[in-house]
Structure 1
Amino acid sequence: MIGWHTYGQERPKVQALNIPAETQILDSLYVSADEVLLSQAAVDTIQRDSTAQDSTKQGFLQGIISYKAKDYMKMSRTENKIYLYNEAEVIYQDYELKSGIIVIDYTTNEVDAGRIKDSANALVQPPYFKQGNNIVEPDSIRFNFDSKKALIFNSRTEQSMGESMNVFAQTVKKENDSVYFLREGKITTADDVDNPDYYIRVRKGKFVPNKKIIAGFSNMYIADVPTPIAVPFAYFPMSQDRRNSGVIMPTPGQTNRRGYSLQNGGYYFAISDYFDLALMGDYYTNGSYGVRAESNYAKRYKFRGGLRIRYENNIESQKGFPDYSRGTIYNIQWNHSQDAKASPNSRLSASVNFGSSQYYRNSLNQFNTPNFLNNTLQSSVSYNKTFPGYPMVNLNATTSIQQNTRDQSVNMTLPTLQASMERIFPFAKRDGAKKGIIQNINFQYNFRAENRLTTIDTLLFKKEMFDNAKVGFQHSIPISTNFKLFKHFSVSTGANYNEVWQLKTINRNDYDPLLEEATIDTLSGFNRYGTYNFNASLGTTLYGTFTFKEGSKIQAIRHTVRPSVSYGYTPSFEQYYDEYIDQNGEVRQYSPFENGIYGVPGLHNSNSVGLSVSNVLEAKVTDRDTTATEPKKIMLLNNLNFSTAYNIVADSLPWSPVRMSGGTQFFQNKMNVNFGATLDPYAIDNNGTRIDVFNYENGGSLFRLTQANVNVSYSFNSKSFSGKQDDDKVDNTQSGGREDDLFGRAQDFSDERTFADDEDDDQEELPAEAYAAKLPWDLRLAYSLTYSNRNRESEITNNSLMFSGNIDLSPQWKVGISSGYDFKQKGFTYTQLRFARDLKSFRLNFNWVPFSSRASWFFFIGIKSSMLSDLKWEKRSEPDRRL
């Protein structure tokens, strides 16, 4: 039972619509304005434009029904119905219904909604049904306020889970607020909902909004053409909270030495909002296999990081063949960063890439392809703690590992402990300015302890790795002061005391003719030595400006020169030395602290003077911007440095080689140029040994160039010359590679997480027309040249160019290349060709390494949406190790 109150202006009476409830077909529920005015006989009709509200008795409806319409509202007492026409709207609790025509039956508490015809006889104003955040847009709908059940015809709803999935159905039965049953449905993530390029046809299914769809027999249609891609039943997760757990489908491949393969298959666990877990593996038909566990974690305003553990059991060839081999490799990666605001006085950070030296060379996993050129693996985990107050103390504990993948050597510090106390000025107030030589006197205290191990990766985690362990402690107390001299010179002077503690020392015995060697004994126990030195420096800054004539594009060039002279004195600490007799009968000196972490005390005193000059060149040029009031400053030379030293007490060769280094930038700081050279003032003999004769005295030039190098890097794109920012970024660090793609890109197209950062880009609307002459592109160059002439060899030891680039041939076509050329060896370096095609809802990729021992290719085509990422086809050819 429904009660109502209506008000309206008097108008000609019209005949009520004769639409029996039992014959109303919702998809054809529409009337025209002409039909409404056919008769003037209805006496039970009241019309109005304002909004009405119906209140109901308790036990029937649990709230008030609000309804309105633009053209008219008609109430029929004989039919117990209310008719709303043109932009009709009904609101009840959290339900909202809009449509061209709405019919309310207040005896059964049902509402029917459908479309109406416009002046062109076209159906318009389809129903819009909203419950909470769920929206359904059908052709017609019937809804019961009591049971909350509904029949929906030709409906469409959009499920948003970071990306949109559209669900179409010819008939939908709403069972309750959370369960819908659909018949003849379509599921697609295509952007064009009216004409999708693909969809999955579902005959029957159960739909839980924002959670899942469970369907019976389903198959895929492309351009409305059925395909043989079908399953007897299907499950579509639609959680809005986070990425859903699910199976990661493997990628098939083929190798000549390991057989057929399935790579990167496994299961992804969306454990919580703070971390996830992916368990994956590889399998080869010759028995090789690999397992991996990957997890990412994050807590907002606290920390974030990721952990990846990889293990592979690799078998080459087959048992019984002479080239059969078997080995295991592993790799552990961990990165952790902490928000600075989370704990200002303590911080934990980690950057770990640790494992077998041959991991990247022997692994055939697609994701490791660009990383096999890595020669070093570096890892570090550090914890920093600051104790505020005065004096402030900083404590740092670091564990670091450095691996050389060529010789398989491993250098580890387990751990390094450092403590430092802030500078203390004993003769100055803490909150006042410090002036003069006395007030600027300051001292510090620094402590460092290390446990250093040197081994090879085959001995890792075995007791033999500790055979060469070295433990040392170092204390240093620097004292210094500074002051101005003649207003233009800066003078600093100081002293440093250094003390080293060791737990192991050595004792060299005299040469034993029977053993034919001088034996060395290792003595365990505490021992120490202390050293000290003095230093002083004098420096100033000179400025020179050259002004050009008025009207010149270059207005002025400024040259900044910073010369400095330093002096250092270290006495001899021969008291820390002993003697032994070698095989020639000669007396030799040695230090028991040899092989220690912090070296040995100096046997000879050092009394040297250092000279250095730093140069900077800047220019002022006329700005191209005519509205600018000041000239534009540009950097011509960031730095040009020269340095050498003279040892006053040296018996010979007192001058050190002159070291020259410099760097500059061009093209809006996108090209970096760094260069350096070593100039030796002394000549060499026929054996290449330096002699105490200046090179010019030996018939040569003033200096002998012994080494030179230049490195140039240039990164730019099509936006670089238009004043826009370069937003092209490549990141291979998750696989342990470089930050750029000069060695190729680490991509596994079968894993949708590879494109997680590109999801926003996929949502951007592509231009409808081709790019014409304005093709988006990017290019990275890295050139390296090294010259060596230490022994008159005068040769180029390294001369190589690395490059990588990408270009968008059209809004859908992208191609890229990473390669290089070695001018010394006269051949191309590792080369990777990339092709990508955007097929609207699909992604097509083809990567090709045409030559080298890593020659391979990888083809992939699949749906871009992460929800349907398992709908794909891929094929790959793995590298053949015999090449």
Structure 2
Amino acid sequence: MHQAIFYTKIGFKALQANNPYILLMLILLLCPLFLQSQELPVRQPLNIEAEQDSTRIPVAEILPDLGIQDSVVQDSIPRDSIGKDSVPEKKNFLEDQIKYKAKDYQKTIRSENKIYLYNEAEVYYQDTELKAGVIVIDYEKKEVYAGRIRDSTGTLTQAPYFKQGSNVVEPDSIRYNFDTQRALIWNSRSEQTVGGEMNVFAEITKKENDSVYFLHEGKLTTSKNLDDPEYYIRVRKAKFVPKKKVIAGFSNMYIADVPTPIAVPFAYFPMSEKSSESGLIFPTFGEVNGRGYFLQNGGYYFAINDYVDLAVLGDYYTNGSYGFRTESNYAVRYRFRGNFNFRFENLVQGQKGFPDYSRGTTYNIQWSHSQDAKASPNSRFSASVNLGSSRYYKDSYNQINTGNFMQNTLTSSVSYSKTFPGYPAVNMSLTASHSQNTNTETISMTLPTLQASVERIYPFAPKSGIKKGIFQNINFQYSLRAENSFQTTDSLFFKKEMFEDAKTGFRHSIPISTNFKIMKYLSASLNVNYDETWQLKTIRRHDYDPELETVPTDTINGFDRFAQYSFGASLGTTLYGTVMFDEENKIQAVRHVMRPSVSYGYTPGFDQYYEEYIANEEGEVREYTRFEGGLYGAPGRSMSNSVSFSLQNNFEAKVRDKDTTATEPKKITLLNLNLNTSYNAVADSLPWQPLRFTGNIPFFDGKMTVNFGGTLDPYALDNAGRKIDKWNIDNGGSLFRFTNANVTTSYTISSKTFEGSSVDRDNDNTASGGREDDLFGSSMDYSDGRMFPDDDEEEEEEEETKYYGAALPWDLRLAYSMTYSNAARQNEISNNSLMFSGNVELTPKWRVGVSSGYDFKNRGFSFTQLRFERDLESWRMNFSWTPFGNRTSWYFFIGIKSSMLSDIKWEKRREPDRALNR
């Protein structure tokens, strides 16, 4: 094979053309006639003769492969009988360097005024690139033809590739005119990036100008199988503006080349290069018991700017129920990001005039805000809010809330913190928090909480060096905590009754402490604590009133305070014990670390804050303090003089590493066990506190940990189950009574665990305010295309399809909890449940999952959800089913993955009967 490559550099002058890439064609048209060297002063004709090659194919055999008929070829020969004008033509000059080459040959035929490039022909000019099996340039008609060639088997190969800027067209053949800037393109394909990929096909494409194309018999699809797409939208006639839009007449969908009744009289397809654009969100159609037919989750999406967006969605039910919600995401790079959601539903149940008729409203507010750590090193603002009606998740009909109806607690926190650097540094934080029990509908809220503290100060320590001794280690701090707290219910939330019962308090704390060593092995510490509490409300109790039959109590508004102080000391050490084994054993050593400590605490009684009153008709005298009901409790009336004992145990082992290249044995933890109790020397009875033990045992290299705890009481019970001041062993029992115990554990495992990879779980319910896992089921709403990334984001690299055989990808999450109670001889297991969720990929396209649990105490399954997912290339099919329980329901969805065509879908659902849950 002989390859000819030519580079021509010519002086330039601006041409009268609307688009510079037309110059490429003029260059190729005129260069054989007007080639001129910049380095030689004498003009010489450039005669190029093709070298005879054994593989040369006659031109007459090449042209039919271009789709150019014989008549076109004949017309391309100059036959004009009118002679040339005596006025000489203006010379055309090029604006840039051109490059063209061909693998087999490049030939110029002056008699035909044409240039032929054959086999892997390429032409480059400015931002224009043309590649094809064969390229013919007709500089008489100012046209260029490009097409395919046949290989040795007769198959057409090397289809044209035309690229201008970022626009790419790949047809079977192309014919382009320089002067009119028009082109005819046969069987073209263009890829348009719209979040994912939109492929545009057309049998015949007419290029009107640089930015407008007219299509005849076109196809639009997001399928990755370009030769045989599993679906496409057929458009008879269309106007195509690359990277902007397609406007078409009658269009309908074909699946596997079979027409479907999904059709529209006209269609508009936006194809902006932006990641998102404003547009309509089509609603979901369906029917639910008690509310009738509905249009759900329809609305409009506003792509406001690069920093914030907004979606406004609404629902309507034929029984009169309705709802709306707003969803907004915002982000400023290197500063902060977050999202805000507001949901409201007006619920109508039953028919008006019937006994089962009810009407009510529910709402939910979610806000999440996080600040970049580099935005402000000395201050930080964050928010995590999830509050609203307690029955919102239980009464909601949105599929996205399926996995959240079992959530019993809603919590919120909005905080701002700031550090004032220097010595001593001051830390300050302002927090608003909220906790809501959705079963009891009670709400606890602090609005706000102020915390301030000064860093630890060592007044007697040297300015440099290590602090030594009891005197140099003396230090003190100051901290302030102020709260404004509310206790209310759903019905009174943010009403005036809520604020009438507000509690406000301030606590000032000044701890003073020091530490030192005794005989090198004992660590000792001394501390004195001073606390002062301020209240803005106190009470006053009067003697019993026979007429009212109660004790009158007044609430006194005004500032009041009380102070408390205490003294403490502690002594501890660390003991080590090691047992060595032979190096040939798997276990080479076991070490036991014990940290015993004893501490003493003394708190006097503050009787000066207590008064007496007559509590009943019998004249019983009782004591009270005016600070009762305060945020930080009341001053202690009884003196405390107690000694506490604790023992921490840690068992570790050194085992032979499975990695033969490791030079040191592997250290693992066998058991952590902590014991603690206390003795009150001034107590009238029952001076010993129960012995409390806690611990954990790690398994599987720490990937699973069993946590346990329990209480052992040394005192006996009487016949009524009350604790008495008598040892249990002296009452005919054992040394301790086992009063309660608990065990909890969780474990996540998958097929990747055995490959050394982390578990990858894509079910996340936090978008709707739920759990991060799917133990309560998946909350995905597959009808909302905004919730799912496109395939290009999910798979960074296209992997070869594999048949899994016996190696099926899977994941499993387990959570177990058990509680034993025996404080009053009930000897029962009050809670014993196991929850689990798992997913299995049966094939690369099929995935099944289940979320369930079993209550061993009540002998029944908890909420159970079965999931089936099918990847249909360009489509997604999902089915979730709750087979039993008071929330029996199912949900089916099939639709196109691409966010652009996400409204092409079909879904069907059966909602649970909410009347069973009330």
TM-score range, shorter chain: over 0.9
**Residue among 645, 667, 672 paired with 1:633:** 667
User: CA distance change for structure 1 residues 757 and 781 in 2, over 3 Å: closer, same or farther?
Assistant: farther
The answer to whether the 8 A contact 1:85-1:100 is kept is yes
SS at match of 2:815: strand
1:163, CA displacement in angstroms? 2.0
**1:49 counterpart residue number:** none
Q: Aligned pair 1:129/2:162, yes or no?
A: yes
The answer to whether the 8 A contact 1:99-1:126 is kept is yes
**2:249 counterpart residue number:** 216
1:476, CA displacement in angstroms? 0.8
Cα distance in structure 1, aligned partners of 2:462 and 2:342: 54
**Residue among 575, 580, 586 paired with 1:542:** 575
Single out whichever of 7-16 and 196-205 deviates more from structure 2.
Answer: 7-16
**2:286 counterpart residue number:** 253
Cα distance in structure 1, aligned partners of 2:289 and 2:657: 62
Q: Aligned pair 1:4/2:35, yes or no?
A: yes
Cα distance in structure 2, aligned partners of 1:703 and 1:631: 41
Q: How does 1:685-724 map to 2 (within 5 A)?
A: 685-724=718-757
User: CA distance change for structure 1 residues 814 and 13 in 2, over 3 Å: closer, same or farther?
Assistant: closer
Cα distance in structure 2, aligned partners of 1:707 and 1:338: 43
User: CA distance change for structure 1 residues 579 and 850 in 2, over 3 Å: closer, same or farther?
Assistant: same
What are the superposed Cα offsets for residues 369-391 of structure 1, whole Å, 9 maximum, x if unpaired? 11111111101101111111111
1:508, CA displacement in angstroms? 0.8
Q: Aligned pair 1:441/2:469, yes or no?
A: no
**1:615 counterpart residue number:** 649
Q: Aligned pair 1:28/2:67, yes or no?
A: yes
The answer to whether the 8 A contact 1:27-1:153 is kept is no
What are the superposed Cα offsets for residues 566-624 of structure 1, whole Å, 9 maximum, x if unpaired? 11111121112222221131322211111111111111121111111111111111122
What are the superposed Cα offsets for residues 98-133 of structure 1, whole Å, 9 maximum, x if unpaired? 122222233554322222233333322221111111
Single out whichever of 203-212 and 67-76 deviates more from structure 2.
Answer: 67-76
Q: Aligned pair 1:185/2:224, yes or no?
A: no
1:777, CA displacement in angstroms? 0.8
Cα distance in structure 2, aligned partners of 1:510 and 1:86: 112
User: CA distance change for structure 1 residues 57 and 719 in 2, over 3 Å: closer, same or farther?
Assistant: farther
| Structure 2 counterpart of 1:586, one-letter code | E
Cα distance in structure 1, aligned partners of 2:685 and 2:545: 34
Cα distance in structure 2, aligned partners of 1:740 and 1:674: 20
Q: How does 1:487-498 map to 2 (within 5 A)?
A: 487-498=520-531
**Residue among 321, 325, 332 paired with 2:354:** 321
Q: Aligned pair 1:742/2:781, yes or no?
A: no
**1:206 counterpart residue number:** 239
Cα distance in structure 2, aligned partners of 1:474 and 1:654: 30
User: CA distance change for structure 1 residues 232 and 759 in 2, over 3 Å: closer, same or farther?
Assistant: same
The answer to whether the 8 A contact 1:533-1:571 is kept is yes
What are the superposed Cα offsets for residues 779-823 of structure 1, whole Å, 9 maximum, x if unpaired? 111111111111111111111111111111111111111011111
Cα distance in structure 2, aligned partners of 1:882 and 1:190: 44
Q: How does 1:114-153 map to 2 (within 5 A)?
A: 114-153=147-186
**1:158 counterpart residue number:** 191
1:4, CA displacement in angstroms? 2.3
User: CA distance change for structure 1 residues 9 and 648 in 2, over 3 Å: closer, same or farther?
Assistant: same
Cα distance in structure 1, aligned partners of 2:271 and 2:650: 60
SS at match of 1:719: helix
Cα distance in structure 2, aligned partners of 1:61 and 1:114: 26
User: CA distance change for structure 1 residues 129 and 26 in 2, over 3 Å: closer, same or farther?
Assistant: farther
The answer to whether the 8 A contact 1:481-1:492 is kept is yes
What are the superposed Cα offsets for residues 346-394 of structure 1, whole Å, 9 maximum, x if unpaired? 1111111100011111112111111111111101101111111111111
Cα distance in structure 1, aligned partners of 2:120 and 2:184: 21
SS at match of 1:275: coil
**Residue among 831, 834, 848 paired with 2:881:** 848
Cα distance in structure 2, aligned partners of 1:657 and 1:16: 101
Cα distance in structure 2, aligned partners of 1:75 and 1:206: 37
Single out whichever of 91-100 and 376-385 deviates more from structure 2.
Answer: 91-100
Q: Aligned pair 1:111/2:144, yes or no?
A: yes
**1:39 counterpart residue number:** none
1:540, CA displacement in angstroms? 1.1
Cα distance in structure 1, aligned partners of 2:47 and 2:663: 70
Q: Aligned pair 1:362/2:401, yes or no?
A: no
Alpha-carbon RMSD: 2.4
Q: Aligned pair 1:663/2:702, yes or no?
A: no
User: CA distance change for structure 1 residues 670 and 550 in 2, over 3 Å: closer, same or farther?
Assistant: closer
User: CA distance change for structure 1 residues 346 and 547 in 2, over 3 Å: closer, same or farther?
Assistant: same
Cα distance in structure 1, aligned partners of 2:215 and 2:361: 52
SS at match of 1:465: helix
| Structure 2 counterpart of 1:615, one-letter code | N
**2:636 counterpart residue number:** 602
Cα distance in structure 2, aligned partners of 1:430 and 1:735: 54
User: CA distance change for structure 1 residues 386 and 26 in 2, over 3 Å: closer, same or farther?
Assistant: farther
**2:9 counterpart residue number:** none
1:290, CA displacement in angstroms? 1.4
1:766, CA displacement in angstroms? 6.4
* Identity score, percent: 65
Single out whichever of 748-757 and 64-73 deviates more from structure 2.
Answer: 64-73
Single out whichever of 745-754 and 626-635 deviates more from structure 2.
Answer: 626-635
Cα distance in structure 1, aligned partners of 2:709 and 2:832: 15
**Residue among 293, 297, 301 paired with 2:326:** 293
Single out whichever of 222-231 and 159-168 deviates more from structure 2.
Answer: 159-168
1:237, CA displacement in angstroms? 2.0
User: CA distance change for structure 1 residues 84 and 402 in 2, over 3 Å: closer, same or farther?
Assistant: same
**1:311 counterpart residue number:** 344
**Residue among 406, 411, 415 paired with 2:444:** 411
Q: How does 1:315-394 map to 2 (within 5 A)?
A: 315-394=348-427
What are the superposed Cα offsets for residues 127-149 of structure 1, whole Å, 9 maximum, x if unpaired? 11111111111111123445543
**2:594 counterpart residue number:** 561
Single out whichever of 175-184 and 286-295 deviates more from structure 2.
Answer: 175-184
The answer to whether the 8 A contact 2:790-2:898 is kept is no
The answer to whether the 8 A contact 1:16-1:74 is kept is no
User: CA distance change for structure 1 residues 381 and 358 in 2, over 3 Å: closer, same or farther?
Assistant: same
Single out whichever of 450-459 and 77-86 deviates more from structure 2.
Answer: 77-86
**Residue among 582, 590, 599 paired with 2:624:** 590
Q: How does 1:29-68 map to 2 (within 5 A)?
A: 29=68, 63-68=96-101
The answer to whether the 8 A contact 1:253-1:878 is kept is no
| Structure 1 counterpart of 2:646, one-letter code | S
Q: Aligned pair 1:424/2:424, yes or no?
A: no
1:705, CA displacement in angstroms? 1.2
SS at match of 2:547: coil
SS at match of 2:324: strand
1:13, CA displacement in angstroms? 8.0
What are the superposed Cα offsets for residues 17-61 of structure 1, whole Å, 9 maximum, x if unpaired? 8889xx988942599xxx9xxxxxxxxxxxxxxxxxxxx978886
1:646, CA displacement in angstroms? 0.7
| Structure 1 counterpart of 2:845, one-letter code | Q
Cα distance in structure 1, aligned partners of 2:612 and 2:91: 109
What are the superposed Cα offsets for residues 454-507 of structure 1, whole Å, 9 maximum, x if unpaired? 010111121111121001111111111111211111112111111111111111
**2:498 counterpart residue number:** 465
The answer to whether the 8 A contact 1:26-1:141 is kept is no
What runs of 5+ residues in structure 1 fail to find an aligned partner? 36-55
The answer to whether the 8 A contact 1:251-1:875 is kept is no
The answer to whether the 8 A contact 1:303-1:336 is kept is yes
1:193, CA displacement in angstroms? 0.8
1:239, CA displacement in angstroms? 2.0
| Structure 1 counterpart of 2:681, one-letter code | I
**Residue among 549, 568, 578 paired with 2:611:** 578
Single out whichever of 707-716 and 425-434 deviates more from structure 2.
Answer: 425-434
Cα distance in structure 2, aligned partners of 1:465 and 1:863: 49
User: CA distance change for structure 1 residues 58 and 483 in 2, over 3 Å: closer, same or farther?
Assistant: farther
| Structure 2 counterpart of 1:467, one-letter code | E
Cα distance in structure 2, aligned partners of 1:431 and 1:858: 70
